[in-house]
Amino acid sequence: MLQVVSTTKSDTFTTTSASLVDVTGYSVSITPSAATSKILVLYDININADPSTHGGWGVLLRDSTQIKIGDAASPRPQVTIAKEAANFYNDLSGQSGSFLDSPNTTSATTYKIQVYRVGGTSSDIVCVNRTEQDNTDRPRGACTITVMEIGA
């Protein structure tokens, strides 16, 4: 292992966007030392969605390229993570995973997860690190992205 870079997001984030948006403070950059290096991405995210939506879904990206997504099967969306709402508006759902990437570069490379609201109305929210109602008796969490350069 040549280098390890990690970031933890402990504050909360919400969006009403029906299109992919960055989760503020939830990205990590690494500059591979060789173009042949592989990058192991480890991620976890706490996500919740308004119960009147279909849920909150997300995609792992390398810079602007979507990675670790399902195969295309129109009209089904290609995603990395999916939290179905199903009336669990007080449930903080942890999603985690890993991906071995081959960015083929020695330039600074950023990894992040973008999220979006599926269905519902423009006032319905998707939350990170908090529940939709965010009552005082409901949990809050933290999420981390860690990247590790592995020599070829």
pLDDT band at 89 (very low <50, low <70, confident <90, very high): low
* Max Cα distance, the chain (Å): 49
The CA radius of gyration of the chain, in Å to the nearest whole number, is 16
Q: How far apart are CA 132 and CA 48, in angstroms?
A: 6
Question: H/E/C letters for each residue in 56-113?
Answer: EEEEEEECCEEECCCCCECCECCCCEEEECCCCCCCCEEEEEEEEECCCCCCCEEEEE
Contact present, 113 and 28 (Cβ < 8 Å):
no
Quote the pTM value: 0.91
pLDDT band at 20 (very low <50, low <70, confident <90, very high): very high
User: Does the domain made of 3-150 have the CATH classification 2.60.40.10?
Assistant: no
**pLDDT value of position 144:** 97
Please determine, for residue 53, whether its predicted confidence score (pLDDT) is greater than 90. Answer: no
Mean pLDDT of 19-34: 97
Contact present, 56 and 83 (Cβ < 8 Å):
yes
Percent of the chain scoring above 90 in pLDDT: 61
Mean pLDDT of 50-67: 89
Mean pLDDT of 123-152: 90
Name the residue ranges covered by the structural domains of the chain: 3-150
**pLDDT value of position 74:** 86
**pLDDT value of position 119:** 84
Is the link from the previous residue into 75 a cis peptide, with omega within 30 of 0? Answer: yes
Check the CA dihedral 21-58-18-121 and report its sign.
negative
